[in-house]
Amino acid sequence: MFTYKRPFTKKRSKITIDQYSSISLAQARGKREEFNTLLYQNIDTVEYREELVRKGV
**Beta strands, E only, the chain:** 2-5, 12-15
What is the rounded CA–CA span in Å between residue 16 and residue 45?
Answer: 11
What pLDDT, on the 0 to 100 scale, is given for residue 21?
Answer: 75
What is the rounded CA–CA span in Å between residue 11 and residue 56?
Answer: 28
Look up the pTM and report it: 0.66
Residues 31, 25, 6, 52, CA torsion sign: positive
What pLDDT, on the 0 to 100 scale, is given for residue 43?
Answer: 87
| CA distances (Å), origin 57, targets 29, 48, 51 | 21, 11, 9
Q: For the segment 1-43, what is each residue's pLDDT rounded down to a tens digit?
A: 677 777 777 777 777 777 777 888 898 889 889 888 988 898 8
